[in-house]
Amino acid sequence: MSIFKAYDIRGIVPDQLDEALAYKIGRAYVTFLKCDRVVVGRDARASADAMFEALARGITDQGADVIDIGRSDTPMLYFSARNEPAAIMITASHNPPAYNGFKMCRENSIPISGDTGIKDMEKIVLAESFAASARKGEIVKKDALDEFAAFTRSFARLDGGRKLKVVVDGANGACGYTYPKIFDGMNIEYIPLYMEPDGTFPNHEANPLLDENLVDIKKKVLETGADLGAAIDGDADRCMFIDERGETVRADVAGAIIARDLLKTSPGAAVLYDLRSTSAAAEDIETYGGKPVMCRVGHAFIKRQMREHDAVFASELSGHFYFKAHNFTESSAIALICMLNLMSETGKKMSELAAPVLRYSHSGEINFEVADKDAVLKKLEDTYGAAGRVFHLDGLSVELDGWRFNVRASNTEPLLRLNLEAADVKEMEKKKAEVIGIIEGK
């Protein structure tokens, strides 16, 4: 399987991605973009320094300068690249320790995806068709942490309200480089958990979407009587919230709540929500004075659509929260601060903010391995299309009387993913069983 994927370059080190290949990728990147400098950051993984040295050598041999911001998280990389022509984050996000990779951007932190450059770079690497270069680039070190932390902290409005207690599980990932600086001295009681960066991820995987990785933070929230928990992924561009009862808050629900906070200062602004989200998200965005815009899944698509609509915010069921003020990119720290702002100002518990958004029954995302994805989608459309409103923004979505569903192929795994919602639990379970039966050919 190619390491040149839909959203990034990612593989096992050194079996799939070694220093020689990282060097060629650096050269291919500059050849493709024709840029004169590249901001480069790297996360906590053990192979990060070796990958940086090889990548930087390729970039400089191709004639571009490297602005080295050192160990960082992905939001810090995006911030540092906001006025730059190109940027690369060395990370494999939430993947196991043996992996590493590259998230790539063009100017203003605009992502490069499979269809906007990654596949072109793969061809350049395979053919070694690098452009001729008359100069050797330089590596310039830049300390970006203080400026990034100050910018992120500027979103906080916590001085006048109740001092909230928050547990943050860093999963030994890259947020350990930035979160202490961001939250130090803020008017909260900050309880860190696994915040020491360690690319072996010794306590649990850095993937907050999996329930087994939330066991410790839920326990800590209950033990400390915390108001809120936030579980961060390996490169800090995703987070999942835990309420004061130790219950997970779905990311689409959290997104609707954060939108409410941002719309206070941006009335009438567009807010994007991914098509898997609860219907309540769109309804609440409108209620609080925003313009709801449905978007397809995937950070490259969402960022493009945000710019098209000049959206103030976007959220994704996978725990990505995007902010116009952060150059239309993700920030787990800003998402956490917005949540704390609203809790402080309303005096409400996390569960109380979430409850009104949970007025429909949602299946959660269910994955299926199927032999013929297109045949399954056609069968579902043939079964339900005539009775409902059908659209193909991403896979198949059908809205019917009292319930709705989306089935889409994963962009990163060989799976079909189902999300279904209905007015109540009984109807949801009934329709879920019905749709699953069709998907599984029963």
Distance CA 390, CA 400 (A): 9
C-alpha 158: how far from chain center: 25
Distances (CA, A) of 426 to 226, 382, 430, 438: 33, 24, 6, 19
Any idea of the CA torsion for 112, 113, 117, 123, to the nearest 10 degrees? 140
Distance CA 319, CA 208 (A): 8
CB-neighbour burial class of residue 176 (10 A; exposed 0-12, middle 13-18, buried 19+): buried
Distance CA 63, CA 303 (A): 29
Which residues does residue 367 pair with via DSSP β-bridges, in sequence order?
417
Distance CA 62, CA 131 (A): 8
Expressed in percent and rounded to 5, the helix, strand and coil fractions of the chain are 40, 25, 40
Sign for the pseudo-dihedral over CA of 297, 110, 280, 252: positive
Cis omega before residue 14 (within 30°)?
yes
- H or E stretch at 37: strand 37-42
Helix (H, G, I), strand (E, B) or coil at 328: coil
Best CA proximity match to 230, nearest among 163, 293, 271, 173:
173
Q: Locate 227 and state its tokens.
A: 């108001």
The identity of residue 44, as a single letter, is: A
Name the catalytic one among 47, 80, 93, 113: 93
Distance CA 128, CA 121 (A): 10
Best CA proximity match to 436, nearest among 387, 372, 363:
363
Distance CA 233, CA 240 (A): 9
Sign for the pseudo-dihedral over CA of 155, 159, 162, 163: positive
Whether 93 sits among the annotated catalytic residues: the reply is yes
Q: Which residues are catalytic?
A: 93
